[in-house]
Structure 1
Amino acid sequence: MKIRPTELAQALTKKIPTYIWVSGNEEALLLESSKVARDNLRTAGFTQREVFFVDNGFDWKKFYNAAQNLSLFSEKKILELRFSSAKFDEKIKSALSENIKYQDPNVIFLLTSPRVEPQVLKTKWYTSIESTGLLVQIWPLKKDEFYTWLKSNLIKHNIKFTKEAVLVLGERVEGNLLAASQEIQKLALLNENDQDFICDEETVLDSVTSNSQYSVYAAVDSALEGASTRSQLMLHKLQAEGIPPLLIVNAIARELRALLPMLDLCEKGAPISSAMETAKVWRSRQNIIRAALTRLTPSKVWLLLEKAKVIDHAIKGINNRDPWTQLSFIFITLCQ
């Protein structure tokens, strides 16, 4: 069944499906809906989770084993499949179709992917998933929806705000939800230290201006543009300011995943402008994305996503790599 992101929480209180598939090209909204799903499933007793990153070389045997071995221990577990591309080969189609037959109340499959192409929506394997699960389709926000989203997130962080503050914040981040989330987190810190805090226009301007030059999203944008020297300076500044490397690697991964569907279209002969239109790239970001699409290839993007995974593991202590050295490598490679 297809539902809106805003309907997901209520739908999960009525019935827990075998499949939950969240798809779309707006990473911030994708993460939000995925978190809603996980939080509600956790409340329902699904306290265990295993995450699989699916690419062309994915070992489906590991996934099958994880699914089939659960019943031996009577655990309630989420098996999360994260697709970096919405280009599904025969192995993926076969695996997903086969898992529809696998009915275990202790197992939930949570899928996340970029936007699923219209022609895929009509295929037999996809409609069979639709009949047994919840399909959450995420679309880029229109201007009025974007401002509603801003207000909602300010309220979630218990921030009192003026109408002018919301308008200024929206103008400054230019529709970039990741940038907006970052600014709201900064405002939330001010709110924690002052019970009488009210976010007004001046507060937003001070917050955005104080860190705009070397902010996470500005640094990533410089790398996407191919500005090697500038992006490295910004990265060093972020490190000196104590910005968590996880924020940076998440921002990079978000942009890289958003580029993949557009690069696939370009490889098929579509003009860059057409690929950006299909992906609904904001006008204010088109020059940046155009520069990246002109320079990058799908194979390079996949390589950088793998490197981002290494950084994520380093931050979590899974390996002994230095996150900042690895981030510098990503920035350099992204600019080439």
Structure 2
Amino acid sequence: MGCNPNVNISPEHLNAALEKRLGALYVLVGDEALLLDEARQAVLSQARKFEVGERLRFEADARFDWHSLTHISANLSLFAERRLIDLRIPAGKPGKEGADFLKSLAASQSQASHSPTDIWVISLPKLDLATQKTVWFTTLSQAATTVIFWPVPLRDLPRWIEHRGRAVGLQLDPDAAKLIADRVEGNLLAAKQELDKLSLLDLPNPISAVSLLTTIMDQSRFNPFDLGDALLAGDRARAAHLLARLREEGAEVILILWVLSRELRLLASLDDPAAVERLPVPKGRKPLYARAARRAPSAHWLKLLGRCAQIDRSIKGVAQGEPWQMLDRVMLAACGGGQGARSGARAG
């Protein structure tokens, strides 16, 4: 352990870097609270291997007394024990006194000998370009091991969930990871909590979206898969009843949308009679899909899938519309099939 070189590492390489060498100054930058907290815990865990027992935490807001940190940094704790000093600057704006302190801290780290020193972990939010170019930040980052945590794009979240699942013993199918991603809407902490709960259930691997949904809805009186059965049977009355009951029970609309989209996607794939044999469903259910597919051509099911995409955008707040009402309309259209089937139903 000693003073830090100017090192920028990616988050996924932090643990390996800590195993090789414990530095004296770490700067963590980003808005993902879960990832920053895990990085702080990783530094703390490695520090304890070097008998760093005391941890001091400070949150520097606009009224923070930077002189108190100057006093702390100038004096090792009683009996010269090394400490981990966890400094968080939530606004990313330390002010003049804070900037001066951080520049001084960086200079002291650069000039430090190889004797034991305190370990500093400084957490900052995502910084704009102007802040990144300030003297205090460039000086600090040049003296530190700097880790920048970028947001996980929504398109990459299922892969992130699959990777995190493996770390807790879960083998998630891509569809299952996508289902979790849709539920948490980009919230990494919520995704972690979902995975932690699943890891306690001792589910057989690999975990499919169907088994995941069954587990989620296990306590519900009405099962979303019953809604899929009503769609395949073309039973409008039962579909409307089930949808209403699921809504009353507080079922997550994203889960209902997943079931509906799955059935429509399977029906849209049945563009020839032989295609039913290739469906990834139990053999006993294949005749249900074959009969449902005869109600309308593939184009009809694809059109309804497009409306499901609109519902998804509505759930996420990027499009107008009330998701449950939109679900009801799509479900009724799916039960009726194409225009000819709907006309026949009215005539009957």
Contact 1:170 1:180 in 2 (8 A): yes
Is 1:16 matched up with 2:22?
A: yes
Contact 1:74 1:106 in 2 (8 A): no
Pick the aligned partner of 1:43 from 34, 49, 61: 49
Deviation at 1:208, TM superposition (A): 4.6
TM-score where L is the length of structure 1:
0.57
Cα distance in 1 for partners of 2:145, 2:78 equals 27
Q: What is the identity percentage for the equivalent residue pairs of Structure 1 and Structure 2?
A: 27
1:1-336 equivalence runs, <5 A: 1-70=7-76, 72-102=78-108, 103=112, 105-191=116-202, 196=204, 198-208=206-216, 284=316
Going from structure 1 to structure 2, the CA distance change for 1:285 and 1:16 (only over 3 Å counts) comes to farther
* Paired AA for residue 73 in structure 1: F
Deviation at 1:122, TM superposition (A): 2.0
Cα distance in 2 for partners of 1:89, 1:209 equals 51
Structure 1, unmatched stretches of 5+, are 213-233, 235-282, 288-336
Going from structure 1 to structure 2, the CA distance change for 1:28 and 1:203 (only over 3 Å counts) comes to farther
Deviation at 1:154, TM superposition (A): 0.9
Going from structure 1 to structure 2, the CA distance change for 1:46 and 1:164 (only over 3 Å counts) comes to same
Deviation at 1:211, TM superposition (A): 9.1
Contact 1:183 1:207 in 2 (8 A): no
Contact 1:186 1:207 in 2 (8 A): no
Cα distance in 1 for partners of 2:189, 2:35 equals 9
* Paired AA for residue 136 in structure 2: W
Deviation at 1:100, TM superposition (A): 2.1
* Paired AA for residue 184 in structure 1: L
What is the alpha-carbon root mean square deviation over aligned residues? 2.8
* Paired AA for residue 79 in structure 1: I
Deviation at 1:198, TM superposition (A): 4.8
TM-score where L is the length of structure 2:
0.55
Deviation at 1:92, TM superposition (A): 1.1
Contact 2:87 2:120 in 1 (8 A): yes
Cα distance in 1 for partners of 2:219, 2:126 equals 32
Contact 2:162 2:174 in 1 (8 A): no
Going from structure 1 to structure 2, the CA distance change for 1:165 and 1:55 (only over 3 Å counts) comes to same
Structure 2, unmatched stretches of 5+, are 1-6, 221-249, 251-314, 320-348
Cα distance in 2 for partners of 1:98, 1:211 equals 58
Task: Determine helix, strand or coil for the equivalent of 1:50.
Answer: strand
Cα distance in 1 for partners of 2:98, 2:76 equals 21
Going from structure 1 to structure 2, the CA distance change for 1:46 and 1:211 (only over 3 Å counts) comes to farther
